[in-house]
Amino acid sequence: MDPATIIGLLLAFGAMFTMLFMEGASLSSILLPAPMIIVFFGTIAVGIASGTIKDMLAAFKALPQAFRGKIGNPRDLVEQLVHFAEVARRDGLLALEAEVAKAKDPLVARALQAMADGVDADDLRDMLEDDIDTQEREKSVASKWFATLGGYAPTVGIIGTVVSLTHVLENLSKPDELGHMIAAAFVATLWGLVSANFIWLPIGARLGRLAELESEQLNLAVEGLMAIQSGTPALVLREKLEGMLPADSAKASGSKDSIRLAEQDFEEAA
Protein backbone atom coordinates (compact mmCIF):
# COMPACT_ATOMS: atom_id res chain seq x y z
CA MET A 1 0.00 0.00 0.00
CA ASP A 2 1.21 3.48 -0.91
CA PRO A 3 -0.34 6.03 1.51
CA ALA A 4 0.67 9.10 -0.52
CA THR A 5 -2.92 10.17 -1.22
CA ILE A 6 -4.04 9.77 2.37
CA ILE A 7 -1.00 11.64 3.70
CA GLY A 8 -1.36 14.41 1.12
CA LEU A 9 -5.05 14.99 1.77
CA LEU A 10 -4.57 15.02 5.53
CA LEU A 11 -1.78 17.57 5.23
CA ALA A 12 -3.79 19.73 2.82
CA PHE A 13 -6.91 19.83 4.97
CA GLY A 14 -4.77 20.17 8.09
CA ALA A 15 -3.10 23.26 6.63
CA MET A 16 -6.48 24.77 5.75
CA PHE A 17 -7.99 24.17 9.19
CA THR A 18 -4.80 25.40 10.88
CA MET A 19 -5.06 28.65 8.95
CA LEU A 20 -8.73 28.86 9.93
CA PHE A 21 -7.93 28.55 13.63
CA MET A 22 -4.97 30.95 13.40
CA GLU A 23 -7.31 33.53 11.89
CA GLY A 24 -9.56 33.13 14.90
CA ALA A 25 -12.48 31.66 12.98
CA SER A 26 -14.51 28.67 14.08
CA LEU A 27 -14.88 25.39 12.26
CA SER A 28 -18.63 25.84 12.11
CA SER A 29 -18.15 28.92 9.91
CA ILE A 30 -17.25 26.77 6.90
CA LEU A 31 -19.01 23.50 7.72
CA LEU A 32 -22.37 24.77 6.51
CA PRO A 33 -24.73 22.10 5.12
CA ALA A 34 -26.37 24.17 2.36
CA PRO A 35 -23.17 25.27 0.51
CA MET A 36 -21.61 21.80 0.89
CA ILE A 37 -24.72 20.12 -0.52
CA ILE A 38 -24.79 22.28 -3.65
CA VAL A 39 -21.04 21.89 -4.22
CA PHE A 40 -20.58 18.16 -3.63
CA PHE A 41 -23.90 16.84 -4.90
CA GLY A 42 -24.09 19.38 -7.69
CA THR A 43 -20.57 18.58 -8.89
CA ILE A 44 -21.16 14.83 -8.87
CA ALA A 45 -24.48 15.35 -10.65
CA VAL A 46 -22.99 17.32 -13.55
CA GLY A 47 -20.15 14.81 -13.65
CA ILE A 48 -22.68 12.04 -14.19
CA ALA A 49 -24.46 14.15 -16.80
CA SER A 50 -21.20 14.69 -18.72
CA GLY A 51 -20.57 10.99 -19.27
CA THR A 52 -22.31 7.66 -18.98
CA ILE A 53 -23.52 5.59 -16.06
CA LYS A 54 -20.75 3.10 -16.84
CA ASP A 55 -18.18 5.90 -16.52
CA MET A 56 -19.50 6.84 -13.09
CA LEU A 57 -19.57 3.23 -11.88
CA ALA A 58 -16.04 2.65 -13.17
CA ALA A 59 -14.82 5.79 -11.40
CA PHE A 60 -16.32 4.89 -8.03
CA LYS A 61 -15.11 1.31 -8.41
CA ALA A 62 -11.57 2.61 -8.92
CA LEU A 63 -11.78 5.03 -5.98
CA PRO A 64 -10.40 2.59 -3.33
CA GLN A 65 -7.39 2.00 -5.58
CA ALA A 66 -6.54 5.71 -5.36
CA PHE A 67 -6.13 5.40 -1.60
CA ARG A 68 -4.50 1.97 -1.54
CA GLY A 69 -2.15 2.66 -4.42
CA LYS A 70 -1.39 -1.04 -4.67
CA ILE A 71 0.69 -1.88 -7.71
CA GLY A 72 2.55 -5.13 -8.21
CA ASN A 73 6.29 -5.14 -7.55
CA PRO A 74 8.16 -5.18 -10.90
CA ARG A 75 10.89 -7.17 -9.16
CA ASP A 76 8.40 -10.01 -8.62
CA LEU A 77 7.35 -9.86 -12.25
CA VAL A 78 10.96 -10.16 -13.41
CA GLU A 79 11.52 -13.17 -11.17
CA GLN A 80 8.40 -14.86 -12.49
CA LEU A 81 9.35 -14.24 -16.13
CA VAL A 82 12.84 -15.58 -15.48
CA HIS A 83 11.28 -18.72 -14.01
CA PHE A 84 9.14 -19.17 -17.12
CA ALA A 85 12.23 -18.70 -19.27
CA GLU A 86 13.97 -21.48 -17.35
CA VAL A 87 11.02 -23.80 -17.92
CA ALA A 88 10.83 -22.96 -21.64
CA ARG A 89 14.55 -23.51 -22.17
CA ARG A 90 14.55 -26.76 -20.24
CA ASP A 91 11.28 -28.39 -21.31
CA GLY A 92 10.15 -26.43 -24.36
CA LEU A 93 7.35 -23.92 -24.93
CA LEU A 94 4.67 -26.60 -24.62
CA ALA A 95 5.61 -26.99 -20.94
CA LEU A 96 4.44 -23.42 -20.31
CA GLU A 97 0.85 -24.64 -20.40
CA ALA A 98 1.39 -26.14 -16.95
CA GLU A 99 2.67 -22.76 -15.71
CA VAL A 100 -0.43 -20.76 -16.72
CA ALA A 101 -2.07 -21.18 -13.30
CA LYS A 102 1.05 -19.75 -11.62
CA ALA A 103 0.91 -16.49 -13.55
CA LYS A 104 -0.22 -13.60 -11.33
CA ASP A 105 -1.26 -11.35 -14.20
CA PRO A 106 -4.04 -12.32 -16.65
CA LEU A 107 -2.04 -10.93 -19.55
CA VAL A 108 0.93 -13.14 -18.70
CA ALA A 109 -1.36 -16.15 -18.32
CA ARG A 110 -2.91 -15.58 -21.75
CA ALA A 111 0.51 -15.17 -23.31
CA LEU A 112 1.83 -18.41 -21.80
CA GLN A 113 -1.20 -20.30 -23.08
CA ALA A 114 -0.76 -18.75 -26.53
CA MET A 115 2.92 -19.73 -26.62
CA ALA A 116 2.05 -23.29 -25.58
CA ASP A 117 -0.53 -23.37 -28.39
CA GLY A 118 2.10 -22.34 -30.93
CA VAL A 119 0.90 -18.80 -31.70
CA ASP A 120 3.25 -16.91 -34.03
CA ALA A 121 5.52 -14.26 -32.46
CA ASP A 122 4.04 -11.37 -34.49
CA ASP A 123 0.49 -12.44 -33.69
CA LEU A 124 1.38 -12.83 -30.03
CA ARG A 125 2.85 -9.33 -29.81
CA ASP A 126 -0.18 -7.85 -31.57
CA MET A 127 -2.49 -9.66 -29.15
CA LEU A 128 -0.61 -8.46 -26.08
CA GLU A 129 -0.34 -4.87 -27.30
CA ASP A 130 -4.07 -4.82 -28.06
CA ASP A 131 -4.75 -6.06 -24.52
CA ILE A 132 -2.57 -3.30 -23.07
CA ASP A 133 -4.29 -0.63 -25.17
CA THR A 134 -7.68 -1.86 -23.98
CA GLN A 135 -6.62 -1.82 -20.33
CA GLU A 136 -5.14 1.67 -20.68
CA ARG A 137 -8.41 3.00 -22.10
CA GLU A 138 -10.39 1.37 -19.30
CA LYS A 139 -8.06 2.77 -16.61
CA SER A 140 -8.18 6.27 -18.09
CA VAL A 141 -11.96 6.50 -17.66
CA ALA A 142 -11.82 6.85 -13.86
CA SER A 143 -8.93 9.32 -13.97
CA LYS A 144 -10.66 11.54 -16.52
CA TRP A 145 -13.98 11.38 -14.64
CA PHE A 146 -12.49 12.72 -11.42
CA ALA A 147 -10.50 15.31 -13.34
CA THR A 148 -13.80 16.40 -14.90
CA LEU A 149 -15.28 16.86 -11.42
CA GLY A 150 -12.29 19.02 -10.58
CA GLY A 151 -13.13 21.24 -13.52
CA TYR A 152 -16.79 21.61 -12.62
CA ALA A 153 -16.47 22.09 -8.83
CA PRO A 154 -15.24 25.74 -8.75
CA THR A 155 -18.02 26.84 -11.11
CA VAL A 156 -20.64 24.95 -9.11
CA GLY A 157 -19.29 26.74 -6.02
CA ILE A 158 -19.76 30.10 -7.71
CA ILE A 159 -23.32 29.11 -8.60
CA GLY A 160 -23.94 28.36 -4.93
CA THR A 161 -22.52 31.74 -3.96
CA VAL A 162 -24.73 33.57 -6.49
CA VAL A 163 -27.79 31.75 -5.18
CA SER A 164 -26.90 32.75 -1.61
CA LEU A 165 -26.20 36.35 -2.57
CA THR A 166 -29.65 36.51 -4.15
CA HIS A 167 -31.03 35.64 -0.74
CA VAL A 168 -28.81 38.31 0.83
CA LEU A 169 -30.21 41.00 -1.48
CA GLU A 170 -33.70 40.03 -0.39
CA ASN A 171 -32.79 40.87 3.21
CA LEU A 172 -31.14 44.29 2.89
CA SER A 173 -33.63 45.53 5.44
CA LYS A 174 -31.80 43.45 8.08
CA PRO A 175 -28.34 45.09 8.25
CA ASP A 176 -27.42 43.21 11.42
CA GLU A 177 -27.59 39.88 9.57
CA LEU A 178 -25.92 40.94 6.31
CA GLY A 179 -22.37 40.18 7.42
CA HIS A 180 -23.21 36.65 8.45
CA MET A 181 -25.25 35.96 5.30
CA ILE A 182 -22.54 37.30 2.95
CA ALA A 183 -19.89 35.22 4.68
CA ALA A 184 -22.08 32.12 4.40
CA ALA A 185 -22.62 32.84 0.70
CA PHE A 186 -18.90 32.70 -0.07
CA VAL A 187 -18.54 29.36 1.71
CA ALA A 188 -19.89 27.71 -1.46
CA THR A 189 -17.06 29.22 -3.50
CA LEU A 190 -14.59 28.05 -0.86
CA TRP A 191 -15.80 24.45 -0.99
CA GLY A 192 -15.87 24.52 -4.77
CA LEU A 193 -12.19 25.43 -4.86
CA VAL A 194 -11.27 23.11 -1.99
CA SER A 195 -13.08 20.08 -3.36
CA ALA A 196 -11.53 20.60 -6.80
CA ASN A 197 -7.94 21.08 -5.65
CA PHE A 198 -7.91 18.98 -2.48
CA ILE A 199 -10.07 16.05 -3.60
CA TRP A 200 -11.13 15.59 -7.23
CA LEU A 201 -8.00 16.68 -9.11
CA PRO A 202 -5.56 14.84 -6.80
CA ILE A 203 -7.62 11.64 -7.03
CA GLY A 204 -7.78 11.92 -10.82
CA ALA A 205 -4.04 12.51 -11.05
CA ARG A 206 -3.35 9.64 -8.66
CA LEU A 207 -5.40 7.18 -10.70
CA GLY A 208 -3.67 8.39 -13.84
CA ARG A 209 -0.24 7.83 -12.29
CA LEU A 210 -1.17 4.36 -11.07
CA ALA A 211 -2.39 3.52 -14.57
CA GLU A 212 0.96 4.66 -15.97
CA LEU A 213 2.88 2.44 -13.54
CA GLU A 214 0.68 -0.53 -14.38
CA SER A 215 1.14 0.10 -18.09
CA GLU A 216 4.92 0.16 -17.63
CA GLN A 217 4.79 -3.23 -15.94
CA LEU A 218 2.61 -4.66 -18.70
CA ASN A 219 5.06 -3.46 -21.33
CA LEU A 220 7.87 -5.02 -19.28
CA ALA A 221 5.90 -8.28 -19.29
CA VAL A 222 5.46 -8.13 -23.07
CA GLU A 223 9.18 -7.74 -23.67
CA GLY A 224 9.92 -10.60 -21.31
CA LEU A 225 7.32 -12.89 -22.87
CA MET A 226 8.53 -12.21 -26.39
CA ALA A 227 12.08 -12.98 -25.27
CA ILE A 228 10.90 -16.25 -23.73
CA GLN A 229 9.25 -17.27 -26.98
CA SER A 230 12.41 -16.54 -28.93
CA GLY A 231 14.41 -18.82 -26.61
CA THR A 232 16.41 -16.16 -24.73
CA PRO A 233 18.46 -17.72 -21.88
CA ALA A 234 17.22 -16.92 -18.38
CA LEU A 235 20.36 -15.00 -17.41
CA VAL A 236 20.19 -12.81 -20.52
CA LEU A 237 16.49 -12.22 -19.93
CA ARG A 238 17.13 -11.14 -16.36
CA GLU A 239 19.76 -8.62 -17.46
CA LYS A 240 17.46 -7.31 -20.19
CA LEU A 241 14.47 -6.84 -17.91
CA GLU A 242 16.48 -5.33 -15.08
CA GLY A 243 17.77 -2.78 -17.56
CA MET A 244 14.16 -1.68 -18.05
CA LEU A 245 13.53 -1.23 -14.32
CA PRO A 246 14.07 1.98 -12.31
CA ALA A 247 17.45 2.10 -10.64
CA ASP A 248 16.10 1.44 -7.15
CA SER A 249 14.26 -1.68 -8.32
CA ALA A 250 17.12 -3.02 -10.37
CA LYS A 251 19.47 -2.90 -7.37
CA ALA A 252 17.45 -5.66 -5.75
CA SER A 253 19.01 -8.23 -8.05
CA GLY A 254 20.89 -10.90 -6.17
CA SER A 255 24.30 -12.09 -7.32
CA LYS A 256 23.50 -15.65 -6.25
CA ASP A 257 20.59 -15.80 -8.67
CA SER A 258 22.77 -14.55 -11.51
CA ILE A 259 25.45 -17.14 -10.74
CA ARG A 260 22.86 -19.93 -10.55
CA LEU A 261 21.34 -18.96 -13.89
CA ALA A 262 24.75 -18.67 -15.52
CA GLU A 263 25.66 -22.18 -14.35
CA GLN A 264 22.33 -23.52 -15.62
CA ASP A 265 22.76 -21.91 -19.05
CA PHE A 266 26.29 -23.27 -19.28
CA GLU A 267 25.07 -26.79 -18.49
CA GLU A 268 22.30 -26.52 -21.09
CA ALA A 269 24.78 -25.33 -23.71
CA ALA A 270 27.10 -28.21 -22.87
Per-residue pLDDT of 157-171, as tens digits, reads 999 999 888 877 777
CA distance 96 to 207: 34
> In percent, how much of the chain has pLDDT > 90?
55
Q: Does residue 23 sit within a domain?
A: no
Q: Does residue 28 sit within a domain?
A: no
Q: Does residue 134 sit within a domain?
A: yes
Sign of CA dihedral 176, 178, 183, 187: positive
Q: pLDDT value at position 74? A: 87
Q: pLDDT value at position 261? A: 45
Sign of CA dihedral 120, 121, 123, 127: positive
CA distance 36 to 178: 20
**Domain containing residue 220:** 33-270
Q: Convert the pLDDT of each residue in 183-241 to its tens digit.
A: 888 999 999 999 999 999 999 999 999 999 999 999 999 999 999 998 888 889 999 99
Total number of domains constituting the chain: 1
Q: pLDDT value at position 70? A: 79
> How far from chain centre, in Å, is Cα 138?
11
Residue 180: pLDDT over 80: no
Q: Does residue 72 sit within a domain?
A: yes
Q: Does residue 26 sit within a domain?
A: no
Q: Does residue 5 sit within a domain?
A: no
Nearby residues of 86 by Cβ (< 8 Å), 6 or more positions away: 234, 261, 264
